Structure formats: C-alpha cells, structure tokens
Amino acid sequence: MPTSIHPTAIVEPGAVLGADCEIMAHAIVTKHCVLGDRVVVHPFAVVGGDPQYLKFDRSLASGVTVGSGTVIREHVTINRSIHADQATMVGANCFLMATSHVAHDCVVGDHAVLANAALLAGHVTIGAHTFMGGGSAVHQFCRIGESVMVAGLAAITRDVPHYLMVAERDDVIAFNVVGLRRRGFSREAMVELKRAFAEIFFTTGNIRNVAADMLAGSQYATVEARQFLDFFKEGKRGFVRARRRPTGGAVDDE
C-alpha cells in the first residue's frame, strides 16, 4: 500500500519517508528523520526529537535514520544526535515495543528487539538480532554485541560481548544457545563458542589479554568464535562478568 499519514499525525517538512510507511494518529516524525520503506510508527511515538542533553544547541543539524521494515510502537522516543551532520541509527526490521527509548547517537543493529520500557542511554551500540528485555536499562557508551539476550529489568553498565545471555547487574548467565541455533549456527561454531566462552570468563588475568592470546593461536577457526574474541579488542568500558559457571546452555564437544 502507499505511504499513509493518519489524521492528527505530525510529519514535519523535511522528513524523508520511504515507500509503504504508515504514520499513525498522534505520532510525531520530525524534520530530522529519514525512514526506510515499510516503517510503521504507532500513536504517540516521537521519532527525531531533540536529545536530552543540557548543552544541546537546537539549531544544530543532526538526525535519526530508521531502516526498512522497523516497527515503532506507542510512546517510543528516538532522539537525534548531539553532533552536527550525524544521526542516531536504528536498523532494518527492528521492533521497538511501547515506551522503549533510544537516546542520542545510539546505533541499533538489524533485527534487534527492544521490549517494553527498555532504555538505551546515549552512545549505546546494540548488535543485530539482540533482544533487550522489558525494563532493562543500558549505561551510556556501552556496547552490546550481536545475538545477545538481555533479561528483563537488567542493569547493563559494562560491555556485553556477542552471543551472551546477561541478567541482573552485568551478570553473564551463559551464551545464547537457543538464539544461535535459531540463526542456524553450525555445530563447529557452537562448540568453539562454548570453549571460548569458558576460557574467557573462567580464566584469571586481564580479559583483553586473554582474548588476544586466544586470537593469536590457531585453536579457533570459525568466523563466529573469532568475532566473539575480536569484541574484546575495542571499547573503553569494562566487560560483564560471570559470577559462577553456568548450569545450562551447554553444547557437548562430542
């Protein structure tokens, strides 16, 4: 169907909407937005509003980009960047449930899901296929990797590497076996990820150095395992930690 803008919706002059978008009643899409094809914005959502940053200059030109097929539910807020000519970015085929918040300069990967009232502070990065549980909150500048599952009400103040399950306050539960199987990860990748997970989180020493030594060796050959280890090269914050060895989510080596 063609792009439709319902009565009482506000789409400011200068906003760019792709084909087959739907902007429902009382939704606001500001002039700072670029929406891909088939984006749906539900009532009372505000896309492209000013960042919640006390020093922000409202005359500055910055924006929000939303990828094709993304659904933005009621009362969601996505704030524009605090930097000139830059954008807060939400990927394609994401699902932002009611009252979730994406602050300025966040980057949300494709197929990510933010459940009700999930909150991202400024400059947060969320990887593709990641699920943020209801009421979870992420500290500014944190990185959350690909195919991560964050439990409801979790408080994330450190970086979360790819493929993990985390809960409470920065607690690693296991790696996300169910999610990776649904994505069709190979048996070889799953076995290597299990081994890499155990070595990273249950070996003493600096976690960055441990990961670097593992990458330098030849025991991890799959792309997925090396991507997991590569995550530890970057970032300025610390990493989530496992408080105990997981009792579930294991993949047998045999």
How many Å apart are CA 167 and CA 133, to the nearest integer? 9
Active site residue 6: no
Q: Is 75 one of the annotated active-site residues of the chain? A: no
CB 145 within 8 A of CB 231: yes
Count of helix runs (H) and strand runs (E) in the chain = 4, 25
Exactly one of 105, 129, 162, 179 is catalytic; name it: 105
State the sign of the Cα–Cα–Cα–Cα dihedral 78, 83, 84, 88. negative
Choose, from 69, 109, 122, 179, the residue flagged as catalytic.
122
Question: Which of 32, 75, 101, 104 is the catalytic position?
Answer: 104
CA dihedral (209, 228, 155, 237) positive or negative: positive
Residue 105 appears among annotated catalytic residues: yes
At 57, give phi and psi (nearest 5°): -95, 110
Report which residue type is found at 134.
G
Q: Which residues are catalytic, by number?
A: 104-105, 122
